[in-house]
Structure 1
Amino acid sequence: MTSGRGFRHRSSEPELMDDFTQGGDKLQEALRHLRRLNRILRANGPALYGVKRLWNRSGRPDRLTILDVGSGSGDINRRILKWADKQGVKMRVILADVTEEARAEAERLFRNDSRVLFVKQDLFDLVSEQADIVTASQFAHHFSKEHMPSIVEQMLKVSRMGVVINDIHRHWIPWVAVWFVTRCISGNRYIRHDGPLSVAKGFRGSDFRSLARRIESSGMTYSWRPLFRYAVIVPKQREAETNENGI
C-alpha cells in the first residue's frame, strides 16, 4: 500500500492503459468494469458541473457540442445528455480516443443514441474550434506536469467556449477506497492496477495553481467536488474580452 508520504507528489508510474501495444479483450472488459466503478464513485459529477458553468457563462445556448478527449467508452457523458434533455438543449457529443477497444465499447454503449459520435483521433489531431466545450475526464492525470500546459492549450484551441477537466484528488482516502472497490467489483488486471494508481497520479490544489500560471489563459478556476474529485474550468477568452482588458 502506498504510504501517506507518497501522496505529496504525483506518481510517475505508467498505467497499463498507457501501453497501446497491449489491449484486446481484457482492455475492452476493463472499460466495461470502469463504467461500474465510475457509477459507484460518482465520476460524472465534476464534468456536468463544469459544462453547466460554461453553458451559463455563454448565455445558455439551445445547441451545444461536447468533445470528450480520452473518452474511453464515453459513459461519463450519459448524465450530461440527460441534463441536456431536461434543459431542452440540442446536444451533440463527440467521443475521441485512440484505441479500437474504446471505439467498440462506445459504439455499443451509444448504439441507440444518434447524438453521440466516436472518432479515433489523438487530441493533437483535432480541428480548431471543433466543439463548444472540450472535456477530459480522468485523462489529464496520464500526463506529466511538464506536458499539462500544452494539453490544456490544445484543448482550448479545439473549443469555442472553454475546457472542463474532471480528475482525481490525490489523497490516501480515495486511494484506499479505490483499492478496495476495484477488488470487490473486478478481477481485471487493468482495473486493479490502474485504479489505485490513478489516485496516486492525481492532483491537489497546488498542481492546478501551478498550471494556471503556465497556460496562456486567464480565468481558470478549480473546485473540489464529491467524491474526492476536482472540476477545472478554463473559459476561452473572447477577443472582445481581450481588447477590453487591454491585453
Structure 2
Amino acid sequence: MPDFSKRSTEEEIMDDFTLPETELFPVLEGLERINTVLGGYQVFYDAFKQLNLKSSETVSDWGCGGGDGLRKLARWAKRRHLSIRFTGLDATPATIRFAKLRAASFSNIKFIQADVLKDVQAEKYDYVISSLFTHHFDDRNWVVLIQKMLASCRKAVIINDLHRHPLAYYSFIATARLFSRTTMIRQDGALSVLRSFTKQDLVNLLQGAGIKKYKIKWMWAFRWQIIIYKT
C-alpha cells in the first residue's frame, strides 16, 4: 500500500526534458484521451465562467504538455464567441513540437519552449494557468513557481491538479489499463497522484507563498481547482 500521508518525492519519467519524440508522442496522445474521459478540462471551463473571461484577454498555460488543454479552451471560447489569445510554455523540445503540430490549425495559439522555473518570463498575461503540472515540484519550488505565475498575470492564476487520495490512485490505474497501453502513462500517472496534494497541503503551500486571496474547490475526477486572485 502506498503512503498517502505525505507527498512522494519520487521523480516521474516525464520529468526528463530530453525524452525523444518516439517515446513522448504516444504518451501525449494517451494523456489527452484519459483527460477527455475523466473530464479534466472542466476545471478551467468552470474557473473561466467564474472569472468572466472576456474577448481580447490572454491566457498562458505553464507546463502545457501536448497543448490539449489550450486546444480545448480555444474551442470552448470560440463557442462563446470569445476572441482569446493563448500561449503554451513547456521545457521539453519534443513536447513543444507535438503541441505545434496538433495546434497548426489554431491561429490564436502559440507555443514557446521555456523552463518556467529558470527562465525569465517578460511577457504578462491576463491569466496564467497550469494543468497537472505543479505536482512535479517539491514544496520549496512549488512556492517559487506560484510566485512567478502570479507575477506574470494581471488578473488570476488557475491551477488544475490532483487530489492525493487512495480512490484517485486506484481509479487511475484502472482507467489507464482501459485507455492506454503505454507503460510511461501507467507508471507516471499513478505516481502523479502520490506526488499531489491534500487540501491542507495546498493551504500550507499557499500560505508559505504569501498568498492571501485564493479559492480551493474540489472537482471530479479528484481534481483541485485553485484560483489565486491578483491583488
User: What is the match of residue 189 of structure 1?
Assistant: 183
Match of 1:32 among 23, 29, 34: 29
What is the rounded CA distance, in whole Å, between the counterparts of 1:33 and 1:61 in structure 2? 32
Task: Please give the secondary structure, in 1, of the residue aligned with 2:107.
Answer: coil
Task: Please give the secondary structure, in 2, of the residue aligned with 1:13.
Answer: coil
User: What is the match of residue 121 of structure 1?
Assistant: 114
Deviates more, 1:85-94 or 1:107-116: 85-94
Structure 1 or 2, whichever has the larger Rg, is 1
User: What is the match of residue 91 of structure 1?
Assistant: 84
Deviates more, 1:79-88 or 1:200-209: 79-88
What is the rounded CA distance, in whole Å, between the counterparts of 2:210 and 2:146 in structure 1? 9
Task: Please give the secondary structure, in 1, of the residue aligned with 2:30.
Answer: helix
What is the rounded CA distance, in whole Å, between the counterparts of 1:126 and 1:49 in structure 2? 30
User: What is the match of residue 240 of structure 1?
Assistant: none
Task: Please give the secondary structure, in 2, of the residue aligned with 1:85.
Answer: helix
Map 1:1-247 → 2, pairs under 5 A: 2-3=1-2, 6-54=3-51, 56=52, 60-124=53-117, 125-237=119-231
What is the rounded CA distance, in whole Å, between the counterparts of 2:30 and 2:132 in structure 1? 15
TM-score (norm. length: structure 2): 0.93
CA offset digits 1:116-135 (Å, max 9, x no partner):
10101111424345211000
TM-score (norm. length: structure 1): 0.88
Contact 1:66 1:134 in 2 (8 A): yes
What is the rounded CA distance, in whole Å, between the counterparts of 2:32 and 2:130 in structure 1? 16
Contact 2:70 2:88 in 1 (8 A): no
CA offset digits 1:122-151 (Å, max 9, x no partner):
114243452110001000000111221111
Shift of 1:81: 1.8
Shift of 1:43: 1.1
What is the rounded CA distance, in whole Å, between the counterparts of 2:191 and 2:135 in structure 1? 10
Aligned length: 230
What is the rounded CA distance, in whole Å, between the counterparts of 2:192 and 2:184 in structure 1? 11
CA offset digits 1:62-119 (Å, max 9, x no partner):
2121100100111112332233223322111101101122112211211111111010
Shift of 1:158: 1.1
Paired letter, 1:207:
D
Shift of 1:190: 1.4
Unaligned stretches of 5+ residues in structure 2: none
* % identity of equivalent residues: 31
Deviates more, 1:195-204 or 1:122-131: 122-131
Task: Please give the secondary structure, in 1, of the residue aligned with 2:57.
Answer: strand
Paired letter, 1:10:
R
Paired letter, 1:96:
L
Paired letter, 1:117:
K
Shift of 1:189: 2.2
Shift of 1:206: 0.3
What is the rounded CA distance, in whole Å, between the counterparts of 1:49 and 1:122 in structure 2? 28
Task: Please give the secondary structure, in 2, of the residue aligned with 1:94.
Answer: strand
